Amino acid sequence: MDFLARPRAEGQGRDEGQEPEAAFQTHRRRRRIRRLSVGAVAALALAGVTAWLVTAPGEPPADESYAAALDEQAWPDEWPATTSLPLRGSPARTWATESEELPLPAATAVGSIPKERVSEGLRRAGEFLVAANLDPEVLRGGWPAEAIDLLDPQQPDRAELTQHLREPGLPDADPTELFTRFDPAELTPARGGIRVRGRMSFEAGGNPGQLRIHADYTFVYALRRVAPHAEPGPAPGTEEVARVVVRRQLVLLYAASGSPGVTAGKLVPADYRRQLGNHDCGTVDGFVHPYFSKEAAAADLPWPRVDPYDDSKDIADGRPSCTVPSRT
């Protein structure tokens, strides 16, 4: 669609005093000039030019930026997203937002566990995912207290994960295995830039009164640099966002009833895998560290290149699991 060829107001299709045929020819010439101008500007931008002016007849004045003249929806895919449209070009833009309910399956009775207890277990699993990956304070580097509180205090996993948060490091103490947090001194989520999609299933666990919950969810985050250190966007007056895609596969055991060494109503993470798209796996400090476009272009990224939105296959076992996203 030729956005720049749209008349700015009704009645611009004919010049004052022109006959209809002459006005039509004039309009065609102007449209041709504008199309050429748009193509030239896009080519310059892709070559790394940081300022663009559109000077075709009837178009914006010379001091109006290219970004203001052309809708960001029409930008080339190679251009990074900005705070104006943080999910531009991403399939995640139609997914659920962090303020919506996490999609959960309908509960049914499983063995001796009644439907009501199964429903509670699914709700607790959803609460854990939200608390670990969508809580605003946690995303800004805060302590995931609510997520930890949902875990069984009698099981060693809770103490181990708490220790990882306090003393992160390689090879086996990386909190990003279960929690999504960003360094508050560097990054903050862009407004309207968080989405989630996934699925959950359940079955009877290995012990009486135990529910085994399988969760597979993908979270997308658009992040901006903390003020006043904005990352310049691809056009004047814009601010770039870095997008991170985090896919998590978890097996959570839910105790519908208590027993020795097991706390009723609590969860145990029996297995958890994560795939981080656009993250510096060489840094293990408890935070996810995305690359902005210039950093990604200059970095040596030794991890496999994958489509981060493809959830058709299970995440390979083994830690860490970082990827170079083919798109974000």
> pLDDT for 144-190, tens place per residue?
999 999 999 999 999 999 999 999 997 789 999 999 999 999 999 99
Q: Reply yes or no on whether the pLDDT at 325 is more than 70.
A: yes
Q: What Å distances lie between residue 200 and 95, 105, 114, 129, CA to CA?
A: 16, 6, 18, 11
Summarize pLDDT for 260-300 with one digit per residue, the tens: 889 999 999 999 999 999 998 888 999 999 999 999 888 88
Q: Helices (DSSP H) in the chain: which residue ranges?
A: 20-46, 66-69, 115-133, 136-139, 145-149, 156-166, 293-298
What percent of the chain has a predicted confidence (pLDDT) above 90? 59
- Position 52 scores a pLDDT of 34
pLDDT in tens, 217-249: 999 999 999 999 999 999 889 999 999 999 999
> What gap in Å lies between CA 294 and CA 323, rounded to an integer?
18
Separation between Cα atoms, residue 313 and residue 226, nearest integer Å? 35
Which whole number is the average pLDDT over 113-120? 96
Encode pLDDT of 73-102 as tens digits. Answer: 888 888 999 999 999 999 999 999 987 878
Give the least confident one: 25-39, 201-215, 263-277. 25-39
How far apart are alpha carbons 265 and 218 in whole angstroms?
A: 25
Contacts of residue 139, defined as CB under 8 A and 6 or more positions apart, other chains included, come to: 180, 181, 182, 189, 194, 221
Question: Per the structure block, which two tokens stand in for 135?
Answer: 């809580």
Assessment of whether the complete model's pTM goes beyond 0.75: yes
Chain segment 120-148, per-residue pLDDT in tens: 999 999 999 999 999 999 999 999 999 99
